[in-house]
Each structure stands twice: as structure tokens, then as C-alpha cells.
Structure 1
Amino acid sequence: MKNGFGNSKERLSSLNPRAKPLKRPTQARAIFTVDAIYEAFVRIWQRDGWSRLTTREVALQAGVAIGTLYDYFPSKEALLSGYIRHRLDILLHDLDESVVQAIDQDWPTRIKRLIRLTCDPDDQRQPLFNHAVLLIEHQIAEAKHHRRVFDELTQKWREAFAACDDLPVQPSPATIDGWVIMAWGGRRYCVTAQPAAAQTAAWLSEMETMICSRLTSAQ
């Protein structure tokens, strides 16, 4: 069915068929190799930009054979897709370790850390979550990929709130889902609109104030 954005086939036609990584590393040596590839990928992107980045140059900078790189990434789009997934996995791990599993934290500290880790568009640990990536996101991501990220984030946020054993009243799952949409959607819009640093800081502060105030008023 057609709508304002065209039909589903038209929307998927822009997705590069070679944009998917072929496999994920599992052994220690393979993980080390792929991490070196990612580091070279980020370094070259930041230096030369997307249009001048090549898989051959990434392999050279990473110190691996081009065939080894192609074992994992058949194109630079696949490399970008793999890197984004890699960084999302790290974000989810950080949320689990620093928020869900953290001990001796009162609920305001835990929730503020949850918001900051999820929202901050200038987080240096996410060096390619930027405007340039959003411009070519359609080449590597389908709707199901965005849905997966949303499901993973909402699950981690629910776990974070459940870990707040000093919170008298737990927010409903629907409320938490709404906050994730505001947090992650706001982060993506900050990356797109590129507001001034003071405006981004004000938004982050408002997110913290709004959610903490809601939790306090529910007591």
C-alpha cells in the first residue's frame, strides 16, 4: 500500500544488499582482529569522510589482509552496520553494568545515570553516532533493525527501574516505554538538528528533572 513515504518495496530499494556483516567474531583472536578493523574504520572516517573511505585502506590501517576483512564485511556499508551494532552492544553492556547491576546507588543517582548514558549525543564512547551516519542510515538499516534497538533499550530501562529497590512506586511498562522514546528520539534529533551545546545540556537536564519529578510525585 502506498503512503506519503512510498510503498515498502520503494523504501527497501535503497538498502545496499551487501550492507550486512557476514559473521560476528566469537574467538578471542577474531575479536581482536575485528576490534582493530573498527578502530581503523573510525580513524579513517574521521580523517577522510565517508566518500573517501575504502575497505582496502581500512584493512591496511588495521594491519590485516583485505581477504580477512572481507570474511566479515563484504562492503564498507557492512562495516558501518557491524560497527553500529558493536557500539549498541557496548551501550547496552554499560547500562547493565553501570545502572542495573550497580550497588549502593539511590534511585535518583541510578536513574540520572541511565538517562545520561542513553541520551548524551556527545558521548565520546559513541564516536560515529553522528549526523553523517544518519544521512546514510537508510543504506544499512531496515525498520526491523530500529525496532530491535527499541526493544533492547526498553528492556534495559525496565531492568534499571526494577533494580531501584528504594523506589516506592514503580512506573508502568508503558510509561517506561514512553520515556525511552523521548530519550532515544531526542538524542537522535539532537544529532540531526545539531543544537548548541547549551541547548543540548538544557535538554538533558530537563529529561532528568521531568522523569525524576514524575517518580517523586508518584510516591
Structure 2
Amino acid sequence: MKSGFGNARGSPPTLNPRAKPLKRPTQARAIFTVEAIYEAFVRIWQRDGWSGLTTREVALEAGVAIGTLYDYFPSKEALLSGYIRHALDALLQHLDKYVVQANNLDWPTRIKHLVRLTCDPNDARQPLFNHEVLAIEHQIAEPKHHRRVFQELSHKWREAFAACSDLPTQPSETTIDAWVIMVWGGRRYCVTAQPAAEQTAAWLSEMETMICSRLAHRP
């Protein structure tokens, strides 16, 4: 992997190709296999940490051949990259199911669900979105990956607000983007700073209150 701020021509550093998954599963059997690999990966990470994790041990824990794991992940960095993408896809699916498609909710409840699902740093569905992952994030993510996550979250948030048929006035796309930056950036900082549980709870409550208040008092 290249290091520093770029090469002599000023180009940004690029990741080692082995830090990228080779492919994503599409068939049911392959999806089942990769999910088993991810589950084993999480268990070993939580037990032994990043330094104690190897692809061979993950394959053994998942009950798959090491060659099968290498069909998808040429390194443990690639495995982490694939898992983070998998976790973000799961987040987007939860936002769609429990916010966008939840037609029985009034707008304040829907928006509170949207904020909390997006920015809760202690979400049990994403056990590896933690301080240790952020410390090695530079090994698996380029600026384009961060931009993609922001664009996908912003798009899902716009869908959520559009689904609020009882909302008196819709916020602009610029405002929605600003809110996504605020809550997602705050979540990442909570993971980095690791505030006390009561401080995190107060922050989550403030995010909900701030956005709902802005919506309630829009002209």
C-alpha cells in the first residue's frame, strides 16, 4: 500500500489491490457461505482482536475451505472491507423497512426512527463499527468510498422524508444533506471519542429533538 499524501504527480494514495474483495455473492448458496464467513469474522475479531485474526482461522471457524474464502477475500483487509459494505447495506435495508416503508407512523415518529437507526453508535446490528475499525479504516477505504456512503445515506433520507405525507413542509435536499453530515459525522466522532453512555444518549436525544423541532417550525 502506498503511504503519504500522494506521489510526485500529486495523485492521491491508492489501496493495495489485496485490500479489496474480489467479488460479491449473487447465488443463494454463495450468499449463505459469505454470511457464514462474516459471522465467523465478527466472532474472532471480538475474541482475539485485529492482530489475532487470520483468514485461515476465519475459514476454519466458518467451516469453509480456505480456497473458498480466497475466492472472495484475498486478505483480512479485504474481508474487513467486504464486511463493512455488508453492514452498510444492512443499515440501508433497515432504514427502508422500518422508516421508508413504515406507513403506519406519523412524521415525528418516523423521523426519530430515521435519526436513531442512522446514528446510534451502539447499534448491535453493526458490532464492528467501533474505534478499532476506524483506526485502520485508511487501509480499506478511499475518499470515493466515503462519498458513496454519504450519497447512499442521503438518498435514503430523502426517501424517508418523501414518505412523510403528513409533514406540513418538506425540507430541501440541501438541508437533508446537511442533517446527514451532522448525524453520521457525529456518530463517527462518538465512536472515536468514546463518550460515556449517558453522554451518547443525550446526543442521540438532541439530534432527534433538533431535527424534529426544525421540521415543526419550518415556514
TM-score (norm 1): 0.95
Alignment match, 2:113:
113
TM superposition outliers: structure 1 runs of 4+ over 4 Å: 8-11
Say whether 1:41 aligns with 2:41.
Answer: yes
1-side partners of 2:200 and 2:16: how far apart? 33
Which stretches in structure 2 are left out of the alignment for 5+ residues? none
2-side partners of 1:78 and 1:125: how far apart? 20
Alignment match, 1:178:
178
2-side partners of 1:122 and 1:105: how far apart? 24
Alignment match, 1:200:
200
Q: Is the 8 A contact 2:23 2:72 kept in 1?
A: yes
CA drift of 1:11 comes to: 5.2
**Change in 2 beyond 3 A, CA 1:10/1:48:** farther
Letter in 2 for 1:78: A
Q: Deviations over 1:75-121 (max 9, x none)?
A: 00000000000010000000001000111110000000000000000
Letter in 2 for 1:140: I
Q: Is the 8 A contact 2:5 2:13 kept in 1?
A: no
Alignment match, 1:27:
27
Letter in 1 for 2:13: L
Q: Is the 8 A contact 2:99 2:160 kept in 1?
A: yes
Q: Is the 8 A contact 1:157 1:176 kept in 2?
A: yes
Alignment match, 2:55:
55
Q: Is the 8 A contact 1:37 1:62 kept in 2?
A: yes
Alignment match, 1:158:
158
Q: Is the 8 A contact 2:157 2:176 kept in 1?
A: yes
Alignment match, 1:6:
5
CA drift of 1:10 comes to: 7.6
Q: Higher mean Cα deviation, 115-124 or 16-25?
A: 16-25
Say whether 1:87 aligns with 2:83.
Answer: no
1-side partners of 2:140 and 2:156: how far apart? 24
1-side partners of 2:103 and 2:178: how far apart? 26
Q: Deviations over 1:140-198 (max 9, x none)?
A: 00000000000000000000000000001000000000000001000000000000000
Letter in 1 for 2:173: P
**Count, aligned residues:** 214
Alignment match, 1:17:
17
Alignment match, 1:167:
167
**Partner SS state of residue 51, structure 1:** coil
1-side partners of 2:11 and 2:59: how far apart? 34
**Partner SS state of residue 12, structure 1:** coil
Which stretches in structure 1 are left out of the alignment for 5+ residues? none
Q: Is the 8 A contact 2:154 2:177 kept in 1?
A: yes
Q: Percent of aligned pairs with the same residue? A: 80
2-side partners of 1:218 and 1:11: how far apart? 42
2-side partners of 1:33 and 1:48: how far apart? 22
